[in-house]
Amino acid sequence: MPSNGAPIGTPTKVTQGSKTKGGIGESTLRPDGTLKVTGEFAYSSDMWHEDMLWGQILRSTVAHAEIVSIDTIEALALPGVYAVMTYDDLPTDVKNYGLEIQDTPVLAHGRVRHHGEPVAIVAADHPETARRAAAKIKVEYRDLPVITDEASATAPDAILIHENRDDHHVGHVPHPNIVHRQPIIRGDVEEAAKNADFVVRGEYTFGMQDQAFLGPESGLAVPDEDGGVHLYIATQWLHSDLRQIAPVLGLPESKVRMTLSGVGGAFGGREDLSMQIHACLLALRTGKPVKIVYNRFESFFGHVHRHPAKLYYEHGATKDGKLTHLKARIVLDGGAYASASPAVVGNAASLGAGPYVIDNVDIEAIALYTNNPPCGAMRGFGAVQACFAYEAQMDKLADKVGMDRVAFRQLNAMEQGTVMPTGQAVDSPAPVAELLRRVKAMPMPPEQQWLAAGEAADVRQLPGGLSNTTHGEGVVRGVGYAVGIKNVGFSEGFDDYSTARVRMEVVGGEPVATVHTAMAEVGQGGVTVHAQIARTELGVAQVTIKPADTQVGSAGSTSASRQTYVTGGAVRNSCELVREKVLEIGRRKFGSYHPAWATAELLLEGGKVVTDGGEVLADLVDVLEGEFVEVEAEWRHRPTEAFDLRTGQGFGHVQYTFAAHRAVVEVDTELGLVKVIELACAQDVGKALNPLSVIGQIQGGTTQGLGVAVMEEIIVDPKTAKVRNPSFTDYLIPTILDTPTIPVDVLELADDHAPYGLRGVGEAPTLSSTPAVLAAIRDATGLELNRTPVRPEHLTGTA
């Protein structure tokens, strides 16, 4: 057995399980695991139907242009082609869609605003025929000047990306090419700056990251006999899709039936619609099932990306190391359409100070409209970019003060009761200093004696790897730390509810619970957790998880680290309502046999009704004989409120979550190659409902943070706003050779406001991973490195 890896299959921290086997706190295995390892799990791209056609989208080859003409005659004449549709063929007056602002055309009308915008769609009997037909559509463009940055977007004579805006942000933005602006003002920054013995300023650049989920955008639309359509789709939120799709089709929502098919990862990239409306339009036009599957090239154009950002930060500290003030300006590039930009702005602003006590804060965050690719949700959602900047600042400031970098952070770390710059007091554990202590206390990976090993050195463990570029010459090691803060759930007053339908009955002589939600399982393991919750609450062994669809109420989005909290909360709530009804039946049937039915606290455990003292009153099979109980109920977390538009004050977030990282890197300073040796993480999860899945989330999020530290960036040509690297050949994500061991220390400090005390897990590890790696590279090289990702030329001085 290899000795340097984590112990096999054992979580770092084992939590206490419930009395019913397979309940919360246990590392139960995925219910979809067998189907996924045998290749039989049906992803959206695996759908197939008799007489199915293939859809293809024609996308703009330029970023900003007027459309002079579109000629579809040759495409329509190609044998095997069933339909070609453009803007003129849209069936209703609703021709735009969008998550919050309906500014995104289903098909371009008169103008394209970014490279790769959908212009026309084709259905044919073979995907290659559809591609060839799309290539035969002649589109004449008249180029317009491209807007690519803040200066060009806000110039006095700047062409407006969207004319006649009527969204509810336009009234408070300084320029119509700014989607949303959120200031956060607290204390008196100018006055506080006078007390600063040290001030550090930095300008930081965060590159455009892609979610790079592996399952491409895809789905199958099947026309229904009643004139409606049934869409089998990979998405993060069925009901949000439904709300946007139905009006464009001119159908009531009841006639657009949606079933979740297998989702090959999401990470925010499936919050917006991609091919959903196009497939439905073609299916309704042709009367045949239509399947659309993007290839990887198209996928890079088919979903929003993480906002690239420019961040301007000024921090001050006294000579004993206390932070005095923060001035920050965060400019996010939202690209051509709004997507989730307003909410990303709210997050970047409200979390822009990081997990620190700073009484005097002046933050401004904006998102631009430009002709760059549209940007929206990605894991970490605005908090990622800010964390990169404030953590670089913390290192610089600690050095100026002359303190240890971790100790400096711990001195200024927020804790329970700290008031955020928004005025919101943090009312659950905020173990920032403790997480830093834990991650620092983890054993360091051994020093590697490369040069001493000579020819015997295993080049696979060196920068450059199998390229055999060094045996240790020019290789230096560095260590870096970072910590971050992320919100959980939808914020700023959003009605962020979930729905769960739970049924209990006897099947085959056994009590069985059935859980039906519309939650999008995208790989995170929500289906595993729902079954665990039902076992814990209802005391059954057998739980059936029904496929997610729109036959049950909304479960909200699988994003914002919210599903275990909110849909998990809804499942628990519905289970509690079911339990009450089961106990009512029990009292009716058996109440006269034992006084405890009326007097004791009753639980369902191990297939039985028991008192809180452990006395068994009845078998669930006997209680439920000839009966069934079913409840569908919505569940809400506590409400939030909008941030004040001038001051940013407000109870804006449901819950905060924290993670800290330590990165150890080795850098070949001659070639600028980086090898991350280890990336350790400590995170507070409140309560680990499934420890194995929690650790999987932390390791996956950590690795996405590593990617944007050293390799991942969508390169957009600043002259043309065209995407230069839409492929896995040119957009690199970490391979197993790039990814180090990721030891994880899980802390469980309950949040009393949340179900079971849990804290959303998925996003926090993506925040601090990137700045920790950057800090380690700076430590190794002594370079300032104010942008991410770091490329070799930034390390060799040849940029």
Partner 1 sequence: MRVHFTVNGRPQEADDVWEGESLLYVLRERLGLPGSKNACEQGECGSCTVRLDGLPVCSCLVAAGQVEGREVVTVEGLADFAKQRAEHGGCASGACGTSLQDAREWAAEGHDSQTGEGTELSPVQQAFIDAGAVQCGFCTPGLLVAADEMLERHPNPTDADIREALSGNLCRCTGYEKIMDAVRLAAARQGEAV
Could you tell me which of 218, 264, 258, 263 has the C-alpha nearest to residue 241? Answer: 258
Smallest separation, CB 723 to partner 1 (Å): 16
Binding partner 1 (rule: CB under 8 A), the pick from 2, 79, 509, 595 is 2
Q: Quick one: which of 453, 407, 447, 413 has its CA closest to 430? A: 413
Q: How many other CB atoms sit within 10 Å of the CB of residue 48?
A: 9
Using the contact rule CB under 8 A, the part of the chain among 31-39, 108-116, 545-553, 717-725 near partner 1 is: 31-39
Could you give the string, one character per residue 279-298, with x where binding to partner 1 holds by CB under 8 A and - elsewhere? --------------x-xxx-
Candidate list 341, 370, 567, 704; residue touching partner 1; CB under 8 A:
704
254 within 8 A of 81, measured Cβ to Cβ = no
Which helix (H) or strand (E) segment holds residue 256: the answer is: strand 256-260
**Footprint on residues 661-700 left by partner 1 (CB under 8 A):** 692-693, 695-696, 699-700
Single residue of 236, 347, 702, 768 touching partner 1 by CB under 8 A: 702
Q: What are phi and psi of 247, to 5 degrees?
A: -65, -35
Q: Which of 34, 92, 195, 467 binds partner 1 (CB under 8 A)?
A: 34
Q: Closest approach of Cβ 693 to partner 1, in Å?
A: 7
Considering only 87, 494, 628, 728, the residue that binds partner 1 (CB under 8 A) is 728
**CB 262 → partner 1: shortest distance, Å?**
8
Binding of partner 1 at residue 466 (CB under 8 A)? Answer: yes
278, 121 contact by CB (below 8 A) = yes
The correct pick among 14, 37, 160, 507 for binding partner 1 (CB under 8 A) is 37
Using the rule CB under 8 A, is 5 a contact of partner 1? yes
φ and ψ of 492, to 5 deg: 55, 40
Helices 764-781, 383-401: crossing angle, 10 deg rounding? 40
Nearer CB in complex with partner 1: 145/547 = 547
Q: Least distance to partner 1 from the beta carbon of 460, Å? A: 5
State the burial class of residue 359 (Cβ atoms within 10 Å of its Cβ: 0-12, 13-18, 19+).
middle
Choose between 263 and 533: whose C-beta lies nearer to partner 1.
263
Among the residue ranges 183-191, 261-269, 406-414, 617-625, the one whose residues contact partner 1 (CB under 8 A): 261-269
Is position 625 an interface residue for partner 1 (rule: CB under 8 A)?
no
Our finding on whether 39 is near partner 1 (CB under 8 A) is yes
Q: Which of 469, 649, 741, 786 binds partner 1 (CB under 8 A)?
A: 741
Nearest to partner 1 of 2, 156 (CB atom): 2
Stretch 366-425 residues interacting with partner 1 (CB under 8 A): none
Alpha carbons within 13 angstroms on the beta-carbon side of residue 88 total 7
CB atoms within 10 A of CB 443: 8
Question: Cα–Cα distance between 767 and 477 in angstroms, integer?
Answer: 23
Question: Can you list the positions of beta strands (E) in 318-405?
Answer: 323-333, 361-368, 375-376
Q: Which of positions 495-514 make contact with partner 1 (CB under 8 A)?
A: none
- Among 20, 24, 26, 30, which residue interacts with partner 1 (rule: CB under 8 A)? 30
Among candidates 332, 326, 312, 241, which has minimal Cα distance to 280? 241
Which stretches of 290-340 are DSSP H helices? 296-302
Which residue of 264, 308, 429, 511 would you call a contact of partner 1, by CB under 8 A? Answer: 264
Among 419, 598, 616, 737, binds partner 1 (CB under 8 A): 737
Binding to partner 1 (CB under 8 A) within 119-148 occurs at 126, 128
d(CA 198, CA 411): 16
Footprint on residues 519-538 left by partner 1 (CB under 8 A): 522-525
| Structure tokens that stand for 501 in this block | 């339908």
Which one of residues 392, 733, 746, 773 is an interface residue with partner 1 (CB under 8 A)?
733
Residue tagged 């008196």 (tokens): 188
Q: What is the DSSP letter of 5?
A: S
Q: Which of residues 209-228 bind partner 1 (CB under 8 A)?
A: 211-216
Q: What are phi and psi of 167, to 5 degrees?
A: -75, 170
> What is the radius of gyration, based on Cα positions, of the chain?
27
Region of 176-184, 314-322, 437-445, 726-734 interacting with partner 1 (CB under 8 A): 726-734
We find the least distance from the C-beta atom of residue 282 to partner 1, in angstroms, to be 18
Instruction: Please identify which residue in 205, 461, 469, 725 interacts with partner 1, judged by CB under 8 A.
Output: 461
When the beta carbons of 725 and 786 are compared against partner 1, the nearer one is: 725
Q: What is the smallest separation between the CB atom of 212 and partner 1, expressed in angstroms?
A: 6
Nearest to 375 by CA among 348, 350, 344: 344
Three-class SS of residue 363?
A: strand
Burial code (b: 16+ CB inside 10 Å, e: under 16) for 486-514 equals bbbbbbbebebbbbbbbbbbbeeeebbbb
Among 267, 337, 565, 658, which residue sits at the site for partner 1 (rule: CB under 8 A)?
Answer: 267
Spatial distance between the Cα atoms of 246 and 94, rounded to a whole number of angstroms: 10
Is 662:726 a contact under the CB 8 Å cutoff?
no
As measured in angstroms, the least distance from the Cβ of 711 to partner 1 is 12
CA 269 centroid distance within chain: 8
Judged by beta carbon, residue 246 or residue 266, the one nearer partner 1 is: 266
Q: Report the nearest approach of partner 1 to the CB of residue 521 (Å).
A: 9
Task: Specify the residue, 13 or 594, whose C-beta has the smaller distance to partner 1.
Answer: 13
C-beta separation of 516 from 500 below 8 A: yes
Cα-Cα end-to-end distance for the chain: 43
Q: Report the distance separating Cα 267 and Cα 212, nearest Å.
A: 8
Among residues 456 and 466, whose Cβ is nearest to partner 1? 466
In the set 710, 742, 754, 767, which binds partner 1 (CB under 8 A)?
742
Minimum CB–partner distance for residue 296 and partner 1 (Å): 4
Amino acid at 578: V
Query: How many chain residues interact with partner 1 (CB under 8 A)?
Result: 72
HSE of 152, CA atoms in CB hemisphere, 13 A:
16
79 scored as a contact of partner 1 (CB under 8 A): no
Q: In 3D, which of 408, 407, 427 has the Cα closest to residue 417?
A: 427
- Residue 679 CB, shortest distance to partner 1, in Å, is 9
Binding segment (CB under 8 A) for partner 1, from list 171-179, 260-268, 381-389, 429-437: 260-268
Min CB(59)–partner 1 separation in Å: 17
Nearer to partner 1, 269 or 316 (CB): 269
